[in-house]
């Protein structure tokens, strides 16, 4: 039986790398994307060109009806869902004193509520032997100024991982989080000058930014062979903390 993955935020960055890696592992993939249809279709085409199976589904991850429809599509097309990768997210920056609360609310809606909504469908639908994989961030531990709202959402994601792993007792479904360090994606690079990027790249002992493929490697491990890893947060960050 072919394993089936739903990957949110799958049209760009870490989500796209995870989708492509899972497809290369032989998993059929549903790319869930917010609005960039061209990039989602490009990802699907790339996976198919490499011999994999993929379809795209547009959904606001915080909209429970849209997310349910994406899971419906996965079940109708591929027969079920085994793996969920929660990688949809936004990262507006600002100090606690100055952040616009409308921006804060949107960050919470996408990163916190969105992860919860997707995880809710996963908890209801995943087959035995399944895996739920959250994407957090090493900024939760690094405590960078201006990342307060973002770190707050990701701290919540890590807490949800612990709870959900225990709620799924007896179902043979693992729940884990990957917390990348600075990774060379548009989400991370946008709005940063080269000096800032260079400084962050030198912080890990490996002295480079992570690549999306570095994170996808850990996602692949948790999605398949890592059946005895459960309720954990893995900080894939080159040793920065």
Report the 10 Å Cβ neighbour count for 166.
11
Task: Supply the pLDDT for residue 102.
Answer: 98
Comparing 200 with 180, the larger pLDDT belongs to 180
Is residue 21 predicted with pLDDT exceeding 70? Answer: yes
Percent of the chain with pLDDT over 70: 98
Residue 100 pLDDT exceeds 80:
yes
Bridge-based pairing of strands 83-86 and 54-58 is: unpaired
Which of the residues are catalytic? 150
- The pTM assigned to this predicted structure is 0.95
Alpha helices, DSSP H only, in 1-147? 13-24, 37-49, 64-78, 101-107, 114-125, 139-142
Angle at 121 between CA 116 and CA 126, to 5 degrees: 125
Cα–Cα distance, 169 to 164 (Å, whole number):
9
**Model pLDDT for residues 105-149, shown as the tens digit of each residue:** 999 999 999 999 999 999 999 999 999 999 999 999 988 899 999
Q: Which of the four CATH numbers 3.40.50.720, 3.10.20.30, 3.40.50.620, 3.20.20.100 does domain 4-183+212-234 have?
A: 3.40.50.720
């Amino acid at each position: 039986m072919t394993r089936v993955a739903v990957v949110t935020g799958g049209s760009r960055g870490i989500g796209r790398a995870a989708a492509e890696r899972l497809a290369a592992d032989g998993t059929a993939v549903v790319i869930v994307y917010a609005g960039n249809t061209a990039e989602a279709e490009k990802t699907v085409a790339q996976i198919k060109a490499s011999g994999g199976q993929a379809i795209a589904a547009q959904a606001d991850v915080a909209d429970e009806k849209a997310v349910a429809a994406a899971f419906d599509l996965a079940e109708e097309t591929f027969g079920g869902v085994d793996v969920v990768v929660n990688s949809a997210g936004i990262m507006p920056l600002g100090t606690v004193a100055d952040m616009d609360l409308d921006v804060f609310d949107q960050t919470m809606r996408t990163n916190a509520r969105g992860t919860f909504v997707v995880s809710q469908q996963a908890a209801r639908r995943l087959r035995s032997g399944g895996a739920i994989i959250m994407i957090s961030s090493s900024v939760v531990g690094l405590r960078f100024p201006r990342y307060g709202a973002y770190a707050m959402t990701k701290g919540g994601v890590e807490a949800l991982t612990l709870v959900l792993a225990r709620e799924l007792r007896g179902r043979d479904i693992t729940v884990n989080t990957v917390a990348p360090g600075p990774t060379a994606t548009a989400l991370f690079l946008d709005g940063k000058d080269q000096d800032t990027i260079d400084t962050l790249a030198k912080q890990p002992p490996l002295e480079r930014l992570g690549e999306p493929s570095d994170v996808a490697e850990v996602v692949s491990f948790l999605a398949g062979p890592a059946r005895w890893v459960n309720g954990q947060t893995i900080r894939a960050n080159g040793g920065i903390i």
